[in-house]
């Protein structure tokens, strides 16, 4: 760090994203991308004429995308805000609804960025342990008097809470915002979007990175009561009014409109996930009940760190986290059936060594 850095940043440990090798020599199952291309409608929408329009700023209000998203989710446009990836929306939400005197409650095993944002924004974190089996007890979140964020389904476990469990948390915290991070909801979770009109303290965050094949376009949607969304816009227009680029607005709109492709590809991922889970269990792995586009698995035959390294040596990238509770587990993104066969072949080889 330089001698000029603000002392308020000295304690910050930034997030370490999964490896993004640029040479494409791996079976890449480490950052929960879709194995399928974006919809042909996206490819058609991001065309030469749109590239030529890049000389013009994007619409800071994102009006056209909001109209499409509102129709898709059964909401009003003022109940939605796009972000430069759902990471940005989550950051905006934490800036809006937490501060040094208003803590954030979140699970010990969940998306790592929540803690990083608390550090960056100087928000006290209330870290609530998951149960021994990695499930979340909703009662742990009742009457906290704190802003809450819950990834549902959770990452990296893949375990989902039913909508009623989230509803109980909303009812038990009427004076605090409950953020539900639904990055993985399209692979078998129950979305809380239908609850938005009933709970003014509910903020749902979704992403186009997983089930809509647009990780590289950076687009997420925050959805909630219009007043909550106005608060997020206050932060956005205070920070970076033109946060979404023109081509991403077009790509996102086309992806939302092609619901048939969305349904076909997420069904394919779910089918491959179920098959892969069986295959891993047949090899003696413990595999959590995932409703996401990844599996969280461990085996007593090799520790997690070694298995990660051996898989990488064998051309398969998965994600391994150092946190003590999950150091023996691997998060494995669901790829194509062929990619999963490649994973299993590599595992068979490694476990026989």
Write out the binding residues for its own copies, residues 23-82 only, by CB under 8 A. Answer: 28, 31, 33-38, 42-43, 46, 48, 51-61, 63-64
The reply to whether 233 sits near its own copies by the rule CB under 8 A is: yes
For residues 129 to 148, the per-residue mask of contacts with its own copies, x marking binding by CB under 8 A and - elsewhere, is ------------------x-
Closest approach of its own copies to the CB of residue 174, in Å = 10
Positions 281 through 300 that interact with its own copies (CB under 8 A): none
Min dist CB 332 to its own copies, Å, is: 17
184 lies in the site for its own copies, by CB under 8 A = no
Site for its own copies in 160-179 (CB under 8 A): 175-177
70 in Cβ contact with 256 (< 8 Å): no
Phi, then psi, of 210 in degrees rounded to 5: -110, -70
Element (H, E) at 166: helix 163-171
Smallest distance from its own copies to CB 288, Å: 24
Laid out side by side, the sheet with 147-151 consists of 80-83, 220-224, 202-207, 178-181, 147-151, 104-107, 125-128
Among 108, 237, 259, 303, binds its own copies (CB under 8 A): 237
Following CA atoms 46, 51, 52, 53 in sequence, which dihedral angle do they give, to the nearest 10 degrees? 80
Q: What is the dihedral of CA 127, 128, 134, 137, to 10 degrees?
A: -150
For the chain, what is the radius of gyration of the CA atoms?
A: 20
| Per-residue interface string for the shown chain with its own copies, residues 241-280, x marking contact by CB under 8 A | xxxxxxxx--x-----------------------------
Go through 134-173 and write b for each residue having 16 or more CB atoms within 10 A of its CB, e for each that does not: bebebeebeebebbbbbbbbbbbbbbbbebebbbbbbebb
Q: Pick the binder of its own copies from 68, 110, 146, 225 (CB under 8 A).
A: 225
Stretch near its own copies under the rule CB under 8 A, chosen from 2-10, 72-80, 130-138, 301-309? 2-10
Name which position in 66, 77, 79, 84 contacts its own copies (CB under 8 A).
84
Write down the least CB distance from residue 353 to its own copies, Å.
31
291-295-297 Cα angle (round to 5): 135
């Amino acid at each position: 760090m330089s001698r000029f850095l603000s002392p308020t940043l000295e304690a910050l440990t930034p997030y370490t994203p999964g490896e993004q090798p640029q040479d494409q020599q791996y079976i890449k199952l480490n950052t929960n991308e879709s194995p399928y291309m974006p919809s042909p409608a996206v490819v058609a929408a991001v065309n030469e004429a749109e590239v030529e329009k890049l000389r013009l700023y994007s619409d800071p209000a994102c009006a056209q995308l909001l109209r499409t998203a509102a129709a898709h989710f059964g909401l009003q446009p003022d109940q939605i805000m796009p972000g430069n990836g759902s990471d940005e929306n989550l950051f905006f939400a934490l800036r809006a609804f937490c501060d040094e005197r208003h803590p954030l409650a979140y699970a010990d095993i969940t998306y790592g960025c929540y803690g990083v944002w608390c550090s960056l924004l100087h928000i006290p974190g209330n870290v609530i342990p998951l149960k021994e089996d990695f499930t979340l007890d909703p009662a742990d979140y009742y009457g906290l008097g704190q802003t809450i964020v819950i990834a549902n389904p959770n990452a990296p476990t893949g375990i989902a809470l039913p909508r009623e469990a989230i509803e109980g948390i909303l009812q038990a915290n009427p004076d605090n915002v409950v953020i539900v991070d639904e990055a993985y909801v399209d692979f078998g979770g129950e979305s809380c979007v239908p609850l938005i009109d009933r709970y003014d303290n509910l903020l749902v965050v979704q992403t186009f990175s997983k089930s809509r094949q647009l990780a590289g376009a950076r687009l997420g949607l925050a959805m909630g009561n219009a007043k909550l969304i106005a608060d997020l816009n206050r932060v956005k227009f205070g920070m970076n009014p033109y946060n979404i680029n023109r081509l991403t607005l077009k790509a996102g709109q086309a992806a939302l409109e092609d619901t048939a492709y969305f349904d076909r590809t997420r069904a394919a991922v779910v089918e491959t996930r179920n098959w892969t889970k069986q295959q891993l269990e047949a090899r003696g792995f413990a595999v959590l009940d995932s409703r996401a586009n990844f599996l969280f698995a461990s085996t007593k035959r090799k520790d997690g760190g070694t298995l990660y390294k051996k898989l990488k040596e064998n051309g398969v990238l998965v994600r391994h986290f150092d946190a003590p509770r999950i150091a023996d587990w691997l998060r494995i993104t669901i790829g194509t059936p062929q990619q999963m066969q490649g994973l299993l072949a590599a595992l068979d080889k490694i476990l026989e060594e």
